[in-house]
Amino acid sequence: MDTGPYQGYVYAYPHKTAYRPLDPRPPLREVWAGEPLGGLFLYLHIPFCEMRCGFCNLFTRTGAPEELVAAYLNALEHQARAVREALDGPEFVIAAVGGGTPTYLSAAELSRMFDLTERVMGADLRAVPLSVETSPATATADRLAVLAERGTTRISIGVQSFIDAEARAAVRPQRRREVEAALGRIRDAGFEALNIDLIYGIDGQTERSWRHSLDAALAWRPEEIYLYPLYVRPLTGLGRRAHDWDDHRLGLYRQGRDHLLAAGYEQVSMRMFRLPGSSGPTEYRCQSDGMVGLGCGARSYTSGLHYSYEYAVGARQVRGIIDDYVRLAPEEFAFANVGFHLDDAERRRRHLIQSLLQAEGLDQGGYRERFGAEVSADFGRELELLAARGWLEPESREPSAGTARLPGLPPGGEPRLRLTPEGLAHSDAIGPWLFSARVRELMAGYEQR
């Protein structure tokens, strides 16, 4: 793993660039047949924003006219009906609305989105944790009132920097007074949890200015704070300004991590920090439970197939995919179009990656129970290499009788294997390094668009 610490953010495995058109397209009823439906994640994707930030590689378009938003909501309802017909008694235990910026929608449009979700999908959004993303410009009082009334428990706002010059450097034209006003409206609306996103590695950012943004965020005592490294990606506004600033970003990450820990936050992953006791209970397990995605940029997960629609970053290509989505006949939503089939080996690898990249680590007993094998037998070489670098360690606990110890690691590896603090700092190198050869080959063959 002789690479820098910032290779890629692994928020899901496999990455969408490993998906390929499915031929023949399987009917959703067949895709979901026999799948456990008692602990599902419902995700809605709204692919619209008021502006495109320079670092953004999300599937989104700017300046969508009112008639396109209406057509998108029509298509979303058609898709919801097709998906609901394919699911036999689903139970949703957690929900989220992402984008894009969901609050690009007006208050009336947000109400319609929630109506179709509850009426068609049968999801009781007031009874489950519900997260919605917003931005300083669109976190208006009327929109927030709709979100609160419909059961939203968590609001996530992308601030990125509290310093105007740094926001401009990230091609995000916002002013601190607008950010502070939006945060005030969010707090006034009374949501259970506020998350603030910050970015480190922006051109011109220093340790002092980074500390300034951290302290400005902490002044609101948000229940969660996410610290994102700036990535310069192909086809984004900053893509022509790439340079090697790994040491700088890593230094800012460590500074931010230590500052938040000292402020009483606990680290959940490389990016996520949370106030102890602020998270509500959820029965969803990302390693094993399914996800139902609605919208042209949403993924859906079953145990054997991850699927979605086409993926793109470039503005023209994104617009084309959205235009195709809103024109689909209702019966076309009954099929999976683009995806990746997971065999048993890929399911084991996904479980490993999704577990190790969380601070709580991997439960060896849970792995054994699910797959009938020791994680050390399936991934011993990878785990040994991580341990040799000082990036992985077993939880300090004596193993139970008959439990195999991980080769190359000290005793006490049952039940969890955890990344060390330095291992978590290198999550964006460890995750991609653990990808299978098949997934890496597919990603390498993906044409950026």
Print the domain residue range for 68.
Answer: 16-274
Return the pLDDT at 412.
Answer: 43
Identify the CATH number of the domain in which residue 221 sits.
3.20.20.70
Question: Taking Cα atoms as reference points, which of 17, 52, 153, 38 lies closest to residue 97?
Answer: 153
Total count of domains within the chain:
2
Domain contains 207: yes
Return the pLDDT at 280.
Answer: 61
Choose one of 227, 255, 274: the last residue of a domain. Answer: 274
Domain contains 381: yes
One domain, residues 168 and 264:
yes
pLDDT in tens, 152-188: 999 999 999 999 999 988 877 789 999 999 999 999 9
User: What are the C-alpha distances in Å from 317 to residues 48, 187, 366?
Assistant: 14, 37, 42
Domain contains 350: yes
Domain contains 415: yes
Give the start-end residues of each E strand in 351-421. Answer: 362-363, 392-394, 416-419
Residue numbers in the chain where pLDDT is lower than 50 = 54-55, 234-243, 396-413
Cα(7)–Cα(10) distance, integer angstroms: 9
Q: Is the link from the previous residue into 14 a cis peptide, with omega within 30 of 0?
A: yes
